Amino acid sequence: MVRKARELNVNILFVSDKGDSRWERLMAYLKRKGAHILCASSSKESYDILRNNPVNIMIADYDHSDIKGLAFLKKTKKLRPHIELIFLSEKATMSTAIEAMKEGAYDFYEFPVNTKLILAVIKKAIEKETLSVEKTELEQKVKEKFDPGKIIGRSKAMQHVLNIVGSISPKNVNILLTGETGSGKEMIASAIHYNSPRASKPFIGVNCAALSEGVLESELFGHEKGSFTGAVTKRIGRFELAEGGTMFLDEIGDMPPGTQVKLLRVLQEKSFERVGGNDKIKVDVRVIAATHQDLRLLIHEGRFREDLFYRLNVVHIELPPLRKRKDDIPLLVSSFIQKFNDEKDYGIKGITKEAMQILLNYKWPGNIRELENAIESAMALSTTDIIDAKYLPSFLLMTKPQDVDFYQIPQNLTLQEMEQEIISQTLAKTNGNQTKAARLLGIGLRTIQRKVKGI
Give the domain CATH number at 379. 1.10.8.60
Whether residue 394 is predicted with pLDDT greater than 70 in this model: the reply is yes
Look up the CATH number of the domain holding residue 46: 3.40.50.2300
Residue 2 lies in a domain: no
226 and 281 in a single domain? The answer is yes
341 and 391 in a single domain? The answer is yes
Whether residue 104 is predicted with pLDDT greater than 90 in this model: the reply is no
Residue 200 lies in a domain: yes
Question: How confident is residue 420, by pLDDT bands cut at 50, 70 and 90?
Answer: confident
Structure confidence at residue 403 (pLDDT): 42
| Three-state secondary-structure class, residue 238 | helix
Whether residue 334 is predicted with pLDDT greater than 60 in this model: the reply is yes
Structure confidence at residue 404 (pLDDT): 39
Structure confidence at residue 421 (pLDDT): 75
Structure confidence at residue 256 (pLDDT): 93
Structure confidence at residue 207 (pLDDT): 93
Containing H/E element for 360? helix 353-361
202 and 341 in a single domain? The answer is no
Structure confidence at residue 426 (pLDDT): 80
Residue 3 lies in a domain: no
Structure confidence at residue 2 (pLDDT): 38
207 and 294 in a single domain? The answer is yes
Name residues whose C-beta falls within 8 Å of residue 95's C-beta, 6 or more positions apart in sequence.
none
315 and 330 in a single domain? The answer is no
305 and 333 in a single domain? The answer is no
Calculate mean pLDDT across residues 69-78. Answer: 83
Whether residue 279 is predicted with pLDDT greater than 90 in this model: the reply is no
Q: Total domain count for the chain?
A: 4
Which of 266, 300, 320 is the C-terminal boundary of a domain?
A: 320
268 and 156 in a single domain? The answer is yes
Residue 146 lies in a domain: no
The lowest-confidence range among 47-56, 58-67, 339-348, 351-360 is: 58-67
Q: CA-CA distance, 349 to 433, in Å (whole number)? A: 40
Which of 90, 117, 140 is the C-terminal boundary of a domain?
A: 140
Which of 120, 140, 160 is the C-terminal boundary of a domain?
A: 140
Whether residue 412 is predicted with pLDDT greater than 60 in this model: the reply is no
Q: How far is CA 212 from CA 34, 97, 218, 392, 399, in A?
A: 58, 51, 10, 38, 38
Q: CA-CA distance, 410 to 118, in Å (whole number)? A: 84
293 and 176 in a single domain? The answer is yes
291 and 273 in a single domain? The answer is yes
Range of 299's domain?
152-320
242 and 367 in a single domain? The answer is no
Whether residue 270 is predicted with pLDDT greater than 60 in this model: the reply is yes
pLDDT for 144-160, tens place per residue?
A: 555 665 688 888 889 99
Check residues 187 and 405 and name the one with the higher pLDDT. Answer: 187
pLDDT for 177-210, tens place per residue?
A: 999 999 999 999 999 999 999 988 999 999 999 8
270 and 396 in a single domain? The answer is no
The lowest-confidence range among 305-309, 310-314, 412-416 is: 412-416
Whether residue 3 is predicted with pLDDT greater than 90 in this model: the reply is no
Look up the CATH number of the domain holding residue 271: 3.40.50.300
Question: How confident is residue 405, by pLDDT bands cut at 50, 70 and 90?
Answer: very low
Would you say 51 and 27 are in contact if contact means Cβ atoms under 8 Å apart? no
Return the bridge partners of 290, or none: 177
312 and 332 in a single domain? The answer is no
Residue 1 lies in a domain: no
Would you say 295 and 275 are in contact if contact means Cβ atoms under 8 Å apart? no
